[in-house]
Amino acid sequence: MTADDFEKALRPALADNDLSRRERSAVLQLLAAAAPDEGLLASYRKVAFKIAREAAADPAAREIIDMLDEVNSMLIARRPITRAYFSPGENCANQIVQLFERARRTCDLCIFTITDDRIAKAIVRARDRGVRIRIISDLGKCDDTGSDIPDLRELVRVTTAPCDGLMHHKFALFDDERVLTGSYNWTYSAATANYENVVVTNDASTVRQFREEFENLWQALGERQTAATR
Protein backbone atom coordinates (compact mmCIF):
# COMPACT_ATOMS: atom_id res chain seq x y z
CA MET A 1 0.00 0.00 0.00
CA THR A 2 1.54 3.26 -1.15
CA ALA A 3 1.26 6.58 0.69
CA ASP A 4 -1.36 7.65 -1.90
CA ASP A 5 -3.37 4.50 -1.20
CA PHE A 6 -3.19 5.21 2.52
CA GLU A 7 -4.38 8.79 1.97
CA LYS A 8 -7.34 7.58 -0.10
CA ALA A 9 -8.30 5.22 2.72
CA LEU A 10 -7.80 7.77 5.48
CA ARG A 11 -9.52 10.84 4.03
CA PRO A 12 -13.09 9.41 4.03
CA ALA A 13 -12.59 8.16 7.59
CA LEU A 14 -11.65 11.67 8.72
CA ALA A 15 -14.28 13.51 6.67
CA ASP A 16 -16.22 14.32 9.84
CA ASN A 17 -13.04 15.07 11.85
CA ASP A 18 -13.67 11.99 13.95
CA LEU A 19 -12.04 8.57 13.63
CA SER A 20 -14.73 6.20 14.86
CA ARG A 21 -13.99 2.79 16.35
CA ARG A 22 -15.16 1.11 13.13
CA GLU A 23 -13.06 3.41 10.95
CA ARG A 24 -10.04 2.92 13.20
CA SER A 25 -10.44 -0.86 12.93
CA ALA A 26 -10.62 -0.62 9.13
CA VAL A 27 -7.43 1.46 8.96
CA LEU A 28 -5.62 -0.96 11.29
CA GLN A 29 -6.66 -3.88 9.10
CA LEU A 30 -5.22 -2.12 6.05
CA LEU A 31 -1.95 -1.52 7.89
CA ALA A 32 -1.76 -5.15 9.01
CA ALA A 33 -2.34 -6.39 5.45
CA ALA A 34 0.24 -3.99 3.99
CA ALA A 35 2.98 -4.85 6.56
CA PRO A 36 4.78 -1.57 5.73
CA ASP A 37 8.47 -1.08 6.44
CA GLU A 38 9.89 1.90 8.33
CA GLY A 39 10.01 4.07 5.23
CA LEU A 40 6.37 3.51 4.34
CA LEU A 41 5.26 4.01 7.94
CA ALA A 42 7.00 7.39 7.91
CA SER A 43 5.21 8.32 4.68
CA TYR A 44 1.85 7.27 6.18
CA ARG A 45 2.53 9.46 9.20
CA LYS A 46 3.26 12.43 6.94
CA VAL A 47 -0.05 11.85 5.15
CA ALA A 48 -1.97 11.87 8.44
CA PHE A 49 -0.37 15.12 9.61
CA LYS A 50 -0.88 16.70 6.18
CA ILE A 51 -4.60 15.97 6.37
CA ALA A 52 -4.72 17.42 9.88
CA ARG A 53 -2.98 20.62 8.77
CA GLU A 54 -5.40 21.04 5.88
CA ALA A 55 -8.34 20.67 8.26
CA ALA A 56 -6.98 23.24 10.72
CA ALA A 57 -8.24 26.71 9.79
CA ASP A 58 -6.57 28.45 12.72
CA PRO A 59 -2.84 29.23 12.10
CA ALA A 60 -2.15 28.62 15.80
CA ALA A 61 -3.68 25.15 15.49
CA ARG A 62 -1.43 24.38 12.53
CA GLU A 63 1.60 25.40 14.60
CA ILE A 64 0.52 22.97 17.32
CA ILE A 65 0.14 20.23 14.70
CA ASP A 66 3.66 21.02 13.42
CA MET A 67 5.00 20.66 16.96
CA LEU A 68 3.17 17.36 17.47
CA ASP A 69 4.54 16.11 14.14
CA GLU A 70 8.09 16.85 15.26
CA VAL A 71 7.61 15.23 18.67
CA ASN A 72 6.00 12.19 17.05
CA SER A 73 8.98 11.85 14.70
CA MET A 74 11.40 11.87 17.63
CA LEU A 75 9.42 9.25 19.51
CA ILE A 76 9.12 6.96 16.48
CA ALA A 77 12.85 7.25 15.81
CA ARG A 78 13.55 5.78 19.28
CA ARG A 79 11.00 2.98 19.04
CA PRO A 80 12.51 -0.47 18.47
CA ILE A 81 11.12 -2.05 15.31
CA THR A 82 11.72 -5.70 14.40
CA ARG A 83 10.47 -7.33 11.21
CA ALA A 84 10.78 -10.84 9.78
CA TYR A 85 10.95 -11.87 6.11
CA PHE A 86 10.76 -15.33 4.58
CA SER A 87 11.72 -17.29 1.47
CA PRO A 88 11.33 -18.86 -1.02
CA GLY A 89 10.43 -15.67 -2.78
CA GLU A 90 12.09 -12.29 -3.14
CA ASN A 91 11.24 -10.78 0.25
CA CYS A 92 14.56 -11.59 1.92
CA ALA A 93 16.75 -10.60 -1.03
CA ASN A 94 14.78 -7.40 -1.59
CA GLN A 95 15.13 -6.41 2.04
CA ILE A 96 18.90 -6.96 1.96
CA VAL A 97 19.24 -4.87 -1.21
CA GLN A 98 17.06 -2.10 0.26
CA LEU A 99 19.21 -1.89 3.38
CA PHE A 100 22.32 -1.40 1.26
CA GLU A 101 20.52 1.24 -0.81
CA ARG A 102 19.58 3.15 2.35
CA ALA A 103 23.02 2.91 3.98
CA ARG A 104 24.81 6.23 4.41
CA ARG A 105 28.02 5.54 6.35
CA THR A 106 28.94 1.92 7.07
CA CYS A 107 27.99 -1.66 6.21
CA ASP A 108 29.70 -4.50 8.09
CA LEU A 109 28.91 -8.00 6.86
CA CYS A 110 29.63 -11.35 8.49
CA ILE A 111 28.33 -13.75 5.89
CA PHE A 112 28.94 -17.40 5.00
CA THR A 113 28.85 -16.79 1.25
CA ILE A 114 27.57 -14.38 -1.39
CA THR A 115 26.54 -15.68 -4.81
CA ASP A 116 23.48 -13.51 -5.47
CA ASP A 117 24.71 -10.88 -7.93
CA ARG A 118 21.81 -8.56 -7.05
CA ILE A 119 23.17 -8.26 -3.53
CA ALA A 120 26.77 -7.96 -4.72
CA LYS A 121 25.79 -5.10 -7.03
CA ALA A 122 23.99 -3.35 -4.16
CA ILE A 123 27.18 -3.62 -2.10
CA VAL A 124 29.20 -2.06 -4.92
CA ARG A 125 26.66 0.76 -5.34
CA ALA A 126 26.91 1.52 -1.62
CA ARG A 127 30.69 1.54 -1.86
CA ASP A 128 30.50 3.92 -4.85
CA ARG A 129 28.41 6.31 -2.72
CA GLY A 130 31.21 6.45 -0.18
CA VAL A 131 29.83 3.91 2.29
CA ARG A 132 32.60 2.04 4.13
CA ILE A 133 32.20 -1.71 3.57
CA ARG A 134 33.84 -4.53 5.54
CA ILE A 135 33.16 -8.21 4.90
CA ILE A 136 33.97 -11.30 6.95
CA SER A 137 33.35 -14.51 5.03
CA ASP A 138 34.20 -18.21 5.08
CA LEU A 139 37.54 -19.05 3.51
CA GLY A 140 36.32 -22.37 2.15
CA LYS A 141 33.42 -20.77 0.25
CA CYS A 142 35.37 -17.94 -1.39
CA ASP A 143 36.52 -20.02 -4.34
CA ASP A 144 33.19 -21.72 -4.99
CA THR A 145 31.80 -21.32 -8.50
CA GLY A 146 29.71 -18.18 -8.62
CA SER A 147 31.13 -16.66 -5.43
CA ASP A 148 31.12 -12.85 -5.48
CA ILE A 149 33.74 -12.57 -2.73
CA PRO A 150 36.81 -12.56 -5.06
CA ASP A 151 35.41 -9.62 -7.05
CA LEU A 152 34.32 -7.76 -3.92
CA ARG A 153 37.80 -8.27 -2.44
CA GLU A 154 39.12 -5.97 -5.17
CA LEU A 155 36.77 -3.17 -4.09
CA VAL A 156 36.20 -3.39 -0.35
CA ARG A 157 37.94 -4.72 2.74
CA VAL A 158 37.50 -8.47 3.13
CA THR A 159 38.78 -10.94 5.68
CA THR A 160 38.15 -14.68 5.73
CA ALA A 161 37.90 -17.28 8.49
CA PRO A 162 40.16 -20.36 8.33
CA CYS A 163 38.82 -23.73 7.23
CA ASP A 164 39.05 -25.43 10.64
CA GLY A 165 35.58 -24.09 11.43
CA LEU A 166 32.85 -22.62 9.26
CA MET A 167 32.21 -18.90 9.38
CA HIS A 168 28.51 -19.69 9.35
CA HIS A 169 27.17 -16.33 10.52
CA LYS A 170 24.69 -14.50 8.32
CA PHE A 171 24.38 -11.00 9.70
CA ALA A 172 25.01 -7.45 8.58
CA LEU A 173 25.12 -4.10 10.37
CA PHE A 174 23.95 -0.95 8.62
CA ASP A 175 25.09 2.47 9.89
CA ASP A 176 25.17 0.96 13.40
CA GLU A 177 21.43 1.62 13.42
CA ARG A 178 20.00 -1.74 12.40
CA VAL A 179 21.11 -5.34 12.07
CA LEU A 180 19.91 -8.06 9.71
CA THR A 181 20.32 -11.71 10.66
CA GLY A 182 18.71 -15.11 10.11
CA SER A 183 19.19 -18.43 8.35
CA TYR A 184 19.15 -16.85 4.89
CA ASN A 185 22.31 -17.41 2.81
CA TRP A 186 22.94 -14.63 0.29
CA THR A 187 22.44 -16.96 -2.67
CA TYR A 188 19.95 -17.39 -5.51
CA SER A 189 18.89 -20.81 -4.21
CA ALA A 190 17.96 -19.26 -0.86
CA ALA A 191 15.53 -17.00 -2.70
CA THR A 192 14.18 -19.48 -5.23
CA ALA A 193 14.11 -22.83 -3.45
CA ASN A 194 14.97 -22.75 0.25
CA TYR A 195 12.79 -22.08 3.25
CA GLU A 196 14.77 -19.34 4.98
CA ASN A 197 14.30 -16.21 7.05
CA VAL A 198 15.85 -12.87 7.89
CA VAL A 199 15.05 -10.62 10.82
CA VAL A 200 15.79 -6.88 10.78
CA THR A 201 15.80 -4.82 13.96
CA ASN A 202 16.89 -1.39 15.13
CA ASP A 203 16.83 -2.44 18.79
CA ALA A 204 19.90 -0.68 20.21
CA SER A 205 20.90 -3.49 22.58
CA THR A 206 20.73 -6.12 19.84
CA VAL A 207 22.66 -3.92 17.40
CA ARG A 208 25.35 -3.35 20.03
CA GLN A 209 25.80 -7.08 20.66
CA PHE A 210 26.23 -7.82 16.96
CA ARG A 211 28.63 -4.88 16.70
CA GLU A 212 30.79 -6.34 19.47
CA GLU A 213 30.81 -9.75 17.78
CA PHE A 214 31.80 -8.27 14.44
CA GLU A 215 34.64 -6.21 15.91
CA ASN A 216 35.95 -9.18 17.90
CA LEU A 217 36.01 -11.34 14.77
CA TRP A 218 37.53 -8.60 12.62
CA GLN A 219 40.38 -8.10 15.08
CA ALA A 220 40.94 -11.84 15.51
CA LEU A 221 41.18 -12.30 11.73
CA GLY A 222 43.11 -9.10 11.11
CA GLU A 223 46.20 -10.80 9.73
CA ARG A 224 44.07 -12.17 6.89
CA GLN A 225 42.59 -8.81 5.94
CA THR A 226 43.01 -7.61 2.38
CA ALA A 227 42.65 -3.90 1.81
CA ALA A 228 40.82 -2.80 -1.34
CA THR A 229 43.19 -2.18 -4.20
CA ARG A 230 41.16 0.67 -5.56
Catalytic center residues: 168, 170, 175
> How many residues comprise the chain?
230
Tell me the C-alpha distance between 41 and 213, whole Å. 31
Exposure string for 85-110, b = 16+ CB within 10 A, e = fewer = bebeeebbbebbbebbeebeeebbbb
Phi-psi region of 88 (alpha: psi -120 to 50; beta: other; left: phi over 0): beta
Rg of the chain taking only CA atoms, in angstroms:
22
Burial (CB < 10 A; 0-12, 13-18, 19+), residue 74, is: exposed
Burial code of 25-58, b = ≥16 C-beta within 10 A, e = fewer? ebbeebbeeeebebebeeebbebbbeebeeeeee
